[in-house]
Chains A and B, each alone.
Chain A
Amino acid sequence: MFKKVLVAEDMDDINRGVYTMLEELGIEEIDQVQYCDDAYLKIKRGIFDKKPYELLITDLSFKADHRSQKYPSGEALVEKLKQENIDLKIIVYSVEDRLQKVRFLVNSFNIGGYVCKSRAGLKELSKAISSIYNNIQYLSPQVKNALDQKVDLEINDYDIELIRHLSNGLSQDEISALFKKKNISPSSLSSIEKHLNKLRIQFGANNAIHLVAIVKDLGLI
């Protein structure tokens, strides 16, 4: 398990919860800061003393107060650390659960984990730490979709054409023949079958007839 961990979080109660959880995980050295600037300085100091932090857990938004900050948000801090190529694993622990944000942070700075603050937040954070220790990226279930490339809501003209022919009473064989004639690809029977299956799932239809009914009801054809 990690030996030296830094937590950047400005809420005392959350800090307390996180601290307890980290102790339960058996982490020896736990440091907590309430400002990102302090976090940056501590990390640099650790490197200077040849006792670097292995993991940073940081919130994204920090309440602004009388102290003016060079790094006013967790994002700014992460950006700076990545710029300096500091070898350090990072988990963002935030109430923010917009997919764009998560995707941006993961893709741009290659953070190790993203945990949403919720009722199950601490448990997820614990899971995330273990996962990252084993070099496996962890995202909270709410934001897991962020990196899922396959999630595409869009249906294309090909799909529409396919369903239209079905609604006109053509069999899959006939559609395949027609597509071949019209030079529409893919036209093989198997790929048409595959597409229809995909559409059935997408529209929650039990069979082809059900699919046509649903799509017609929605006014897509």
Chain B
Amino acid sequence: MKCKNISFLLFYSLLSFFMTMISEQCVAQDKSDSLSYYYYAILNPKEPEHLPGGISYYSKRKERNLINEDTLSAIGDLRMIAIGQFKIGNVYDSENSIVEALDLINKLKDRDTLIESRVGLHNQLGRVYRSANKYKEALKSFEEALELASNTKDSITILNNKANVYKDMLQYQQALDQYTQVYDKTLGHGDSLQLAMVIDNLGYIQGKMNLPSALDNLNKALEVRLKKNELTGVYRSYKNLTYFFLNRNDKENTSLYANKAFEVAKRLNNGGYTQDALSLFVEMDEDPKVKEYKRLTDSIASAKQLAENKNAYMKYNVEEERKKTETSKLLQEREKRLKVIYMGVSAFVLLVLLASYFIFRYKYKKGKIEQVFRTETRISKKVHDEVANDVYHVMTKLQSNLNINEDVLDDLEKIYSKTRDISKENSAIDVKKNFEQILNDLLLSYKNQNVNIVTKNLSKIKWDSVSEIRKMTIYRVLQELMTNMRKYSKASLVALNFNRSGSKISVSYKDNGIGCSLKKSNGLLNAENRIASINGTISFESKVNEGFKSKIII
């Protein structure tokens, strides 16, 4: 049983292993399948949908590769796109794709290692320009490609392309020079088909220039191509021979080669070649109407090409312009965003600075007020513990002396109580809890046989929510007012009215004393300073014989 189990497990794991291998292979195959399918769809299109399909496939692939930052693959994709667009006739799109690819290469650090791609792209660009009849640009591109080309085969192709441009420009002497150069290079290299192509082109130009070896070369090329059975080459040879004899009015040979070309075209089973071959017969025709038709067709075609070029150029410019506006718009928006961000950041910094300034100022002020309270308390304790005690000392000492004058003792007692008052005015008070009681006790200590004190709403204020500094200040200021009252007012009744509105606390003081002409005593000045230090207000109001009024708001 156990053994069975193990073998089953082994089997199962092996199976799953193979399954994964197979499935992975399947996926890989799928990918490479579509890649190779579209690769041939572009290089060798057979159906009408091949080229557009290939272009769209490579466009998507390029975007993917760019996102994955695989620039090398993206460049390869762009090359394929450019070839496809060129074949479909979208010359400007093709040019754009190539330029985009070249830009990507320029941005790469190791661009020097991409010589093959760059040569290919420049060569392709030259071909694009040539087909759009932009000969100057075409030549420039081929020269750039030539500069980069490192192997002979590449440079032969490029030189040949260059010569073709001269041929198109009807500059036969330059074309001849180029072809001769290509011929020399090809001889040493030894690819017979390539050599045949070169000899064929050389012969064509020589024919145009009426040089003796023209027919020889044309025939030599044909011979090689026939031997290799390269049909497109053979077709070109027949075509060039037809032109050769056409130029020399040799009707018999012209017709002979034109027919041969037509035969080959039919064997190639390609409409383009067949049409091209048939156009040879049109050229041969002596009928002036046919000749006129041919001339018109050609001029219309070239006018159409010119118009297309112009249109495409304009389209391209408009597109470029649009792209530029978009980029500048994007840039503007980015700047706007940045501006907003900068403004936000600076506003924030400003706020923080302001806030910290106020916090610092508040803390500094608070610290100062606390310092004042601490100093007062310290001095008060000293006065109490040292001066008052010492005076009491002397008093008790004298009291035990039976011969002492009572007046001296009375004076001494006055000094004693004065010191105690000073000490009391500044002594430490714990206002944290039960402030109502503390305040009541304070007022109570001023109440006696002759002085009555009445409070209103003292118990209605929630003192626990009032800061210590404010409570302390209220305590001290009331102490000053009451001391002032006891000393000068001769009042018999004092009323204190407490009120709270919002965060402010107000206390109105009123007595029925003799009043004064408001020469502020030290005590009142002190009260004023205390209130000012916590940003409160205090007002005094008094006339002789009309009592004393004060209002505190903190």
Contact = CB atoms under 8 A, between A and B. Distances in A.
A202 B413 contact: no
B433 to A, nearest CB: 11
Nearest to B511: A218
A202 B427 CA distance: 30
B493 A95 contact: no
Contacts of B437: 100
- The CB with the most chain B CB atoms within 10 A, among A119, A122, A151, is that of A119
A122 B444 contact: no
Interface stretch (A10-18, A35-43, A178-186): A10-18
B396 A17 contact: yes
B454 A218 contact: yes
A61 interface: yes
Given A145-B444, A219-B508, A95 B388 contact: yes
Interface in B370-422: 384-385, 388-389, 392-393, 395-397, 399-400, 409, 413, 416, 420
Given A153-B447, A153-B453, A14 B441 contact: no
B393 A119 contact: no
Contacts of B497: 219-220
A153 B440 contact: yes
Interface stretch (B181-189, B304-312, B455-463): B455-463
Given A219-B508, A219-B510, A203 B385 contact: no
A219 B392 contact: no
Contacts of A61: 384-385
Contacts of A155: 454-456
A95 B413 contact: no
Contacts, number: 98
Nearest to A221: B456
A202 B399 contact: no
Interface in B536-554: 547, 549
Interface string B324-341: 000000000000000000
Interface string A42-53: 000000000000
B499 interface: no
Interface in B449-493: 452-456, 458-459, 492-493
A111 interface: no
B104 interface: no
- Please classify how large the interface on chain A is, using the bins under 10, 10 to 19, 20 to 34, 35 or more: 35 or more
A202 to B, nearest CB: 6
A17 B510 contact: no
Nearest to B412: A119
Given A14-B392, A95-B388, A95-B420, A119 B512 contact: no
Interface residues of B, number: 41
B492 A204 contact: yes
B353 interface: no
Contact of A99 (B400, B441, B459, B495): B441
- The CB with the most chain B CB atoms within 10 A, among A14, A16, A146, is that of A14
A119 B549 CA distance: 36
Given A154-B458, A154-B459, A202-B454, A219 B399 contact: no
Nearest to B386: A63
A99 B444 contact: yes
A152 B393 contact: no
Contact of B441 (A100, A218, A220): A100
B443 A204 contact: no
A118 B399 contact: no
B444 A151 contact: yes
Nearest to B397: A13
A204 B493 contact: yes
B448 to A, nearest CB: 10
A152 B400 contact: no
19 contacts: A17-B399, A20-B400, A95-B384, A95-B389, A95-B392, A118-B413, A118-B416, A119-B416, A145-B444, A153-B447, A153-B453, A153-B455, A153-B458, A154-B455, A155-B456, A204-B452, A217-B512, A218-B495, A220-B497
Given A14-B393, A214-B512, 11 more contacts: A13-B393, A61-B385, A97-B420, A117-B392, A119-B409, A121-B392, A153-B454, A154-B455, A155-B455, A203-B493, A217-B512
Q: Nearest 7 pairs between A and B by C-beta?
A: A218-B495, A99-B441, A153-B455, A17-B396, A119-B413, A13-B397, A154-B455
